[in-house]
Amino acid sequence: MTNMWLEALQKRLRFEFKGLISTEDLFDLDMSSLDVIYQKLSKELREISGDSLLDNEKADEIAWVQLKLDVVKHVFDIKKAEAEALRQKIANIEEKQRIMHIINEKENAELANLSIDELKAKLNDLE
């Protein structure tokens, strides 16, 4: 993967998306925008690849488009992993809040079961 990024930077790859954007700009896009770029590049690759084994003069162009595809796919995968990590973090926070709420209810129920004298004693202890 490191070689791919180095090559992308050295070749100063640009991607068509509302004009031309740099490799770094891909990280500012959402996943659906990355998918649009990926689909266009995939179509371009299919068109230039053709079905002939004798079509070697397009090898450089094919490699160029394949590099772009690989970069976009990798950025997409990074963003997908980040989104999943965020979803998991939110789920964990919600679960913690639910547990804290139940603990609070049980503590309140425990206090509610005390007699008036026991509650007054606890209240006096707090003063």
Task: Name the pLDDT band for 2 (thresholds 50, 70, 90).
Answer: low
Residue whose entry in the numeric block shows the structure tokens 């500012």? 28
Closest by Cα among 58, 71, 65 to 8: 71
Q: What is the largest CA-CA distance in the chain?
A: 96
What pLDDT does 65 receive? 92
Among 4-13, 35-44, 80-89, 100-109, the minimum mean pLDDT is found in 4-13
Helices and strands of the chain, counted as H and E runs: 4, 2
